[in-house]
Chains A and B, each alone.
Chain A
């Protein structure tokens, strides 16, 4: 079976110098409907080696699913006059709304630190672009706080053994998308790592969007605020009146 597969893709490999990745995802579009409680993405694909044979060196795979980046303001509470009050704050220009990393082995052991920073592999290597221009130690403190908050909220995750590689050429990974992720264009990046360096990378886009009634409600709230508000008021008045009429009937 594997030989047949390699035979089929052999023409693609002629003339290739370095390995290539052919990635895919189980869903290119995730639709959020009324029953959405999260989704599980399957990221899979093949590693194509020049010459068609896997080298003896062990190659590792890391996959990263990243949500759209957004600017945020983070505030820190401090005890002032016996009460916990927001004191200092910092701006970060590009904070990914979602970040999930899965790799075939613990990420720190398969890439060297410099590569990890370049490719933003690992939560601690995310470049959040602090905008305050203040003290680096202070920026670091806010960054730690922000990452901790995102990690506990389920927005950021790292799985050490989330990628399975079979026979050196096929890989697959599962990444859970929680229900409360923001909508937008996500990217699924796959990295082929050898001897601590990234030797091939490929990206697929995933669209997460509200659909059906959910999309309609969200759009109405965004575009026709006044009518939406009026509808909310009418709905509440109607339901209140309905309940009062029903209960009156019940009593008689």
Chain B
């Protein structure tokens, strides 16, 4: 079953795209990541032009996060207070991201810079997460009791001024920390075509020390707003958002996200984190190889 995509300018198999959306939605619901770091490369692999892939994955992530936010929100799994601070930072960050994108595009180095960012961030975060979750699992097998209470947010964050109380997260920290975190993910959303969940979730757990119960929901809440803003920016500047492609991806991903959110409740969080770390590391290694191997195309064409 082939369908023509009006903006991408080619026809694709409907089932392949819906399947792709479903897979990414599943990850989104389970781990609280948008899945953009998988959708964008996979769509490019299917032959969709990179600009269209990046722009059309943004509204797809929005849709997948809605069902996730609603699913988590109904269980009290979203800290709206914390989320608002993150969104404010994200909005500022996406403005800077848009500026950087233009600059790098003009000198022709956008692909390389984005690839290096992927390798460094995914590699670093994947390693930290894998180590942490393996330690937790080993500790459990030995029968150690998990360290009770004692929020251990990073000492640097404890030094920041003007502390606020974030009741749902169980935190008393400076709002500057989530603001900076939101800002960083905002830059990445525009530059890399990702929601930023894969950096947000670990940062919330290991740096802010947020209560695990609200991490996934709050991360999805921030992703929802930042990807919606990013869709608007793309629709007005690159004009590369393909509604048909987005619609197909959405059908798969919103259902996947629901199933993923249910599955997340039945699996131990340590296993979830280990699985996410594994996926993140695989993508990072693939990207690293992509940078150093001789690429299939030495030449690339850009319309003037």
Residues of chain A having any CB pair with chain B under 8 Å: 32-37, 70-77, 79, 82-86, 89, 91, 142, 145-146, 148-149, 179-183, 210, 213-215, 217-218, 221-222, 225-226, 228-233, 235-237, 239-244, 247
**Does B136 have its Cβ within 8 Å of any Cβ on chain A?**
no
Query: Contact between A240 and B11 (Cβ–Cβ < 8 Å)?
Result: no
Sample 24 A-B pairs with CB under 8 A, ordered by A number.
Answer: A32-B4, A35-B11, A70-B303, A72-B302, A72-B304, A73-B303, A74-B301, A76-B298, A83-B291, A84-B293, A85-B109, A86-B112, A180-B47, A229-B231, A229-B233, A229-B234, A229-B235, A230-B235, A233-B232, A239-B251, A239-B254, A240-B254, A240-B257, A241-B67
B137 at the interface (CB under 8 A from A): no
**Please, how many angstroms separate the alpha-carbon atoms of A182 and B301 in the complex?**
15
Q: Is the CB of A218 within 8 A of B303?
A: no
Cβ-defined contact, B4 with A33, below 8 A: yes
Q: Are B62 and A236 in contact (CB-based, < 8 A)?
A: yes
B239 interfacial by beta-carbon distance below 8 Å: yes
Are B302 and A210 neighbours in the complex by a CB distance under 8 Å? no
Centre residue among A70, A86, A182, A242 by max chain B CB count within 10 A: A86
Interface residues of B (CB under 8 A from A): 2-4, 6-7, 9-11, 47, 59-60, 62-67, 70-71, 108-109, 111-112, 116, 228, 231-237, 239, 241, 243-244, 246-247, 250-251, 254-255, 257-258, 291-295, 297-304
Contact partners of B302 in chain A: CB under 8 A: 72-75
In the complex, chain B residues whose CB is within 8 Å of the CB of A235: 59, 63, 243, 246-247, 250
Does A180 lie within 8 Å of B10, measured CB to CB?
yes
Given contacts A74-B299, A145-B298, contact A225 B7 (CB under 8 A): no
Q: Which residues of chain B are within 8 angstroms of A244 by Cβ–Cβ distance?
A: 66-67, 70-71, 254, 258
Measured CB to CB, the closest approach of chain A to B46, in angstroms, equals 12
Which of B66, B70, B112, B293 is close to A85, meaning CB atoms less than 8 Å apart?
Answer: B112
Decide: B4 and A36 in contact? CB cutoff 8 A: yes
The answer to whether residues A229 and B232 also contact, given A72-B303, A142-B299, A244-B66 and a CB cut-off of 8 A, is: yes
Bound CA–CA A85/B115 (angstroms) = 11
Q: How far is the CB of B102 from chain A (nearest CB, A)?
A: 15
Complex contact B254–A242 (CB within 8 A): yes
A228–B241 contact, CB under 8 A? yes
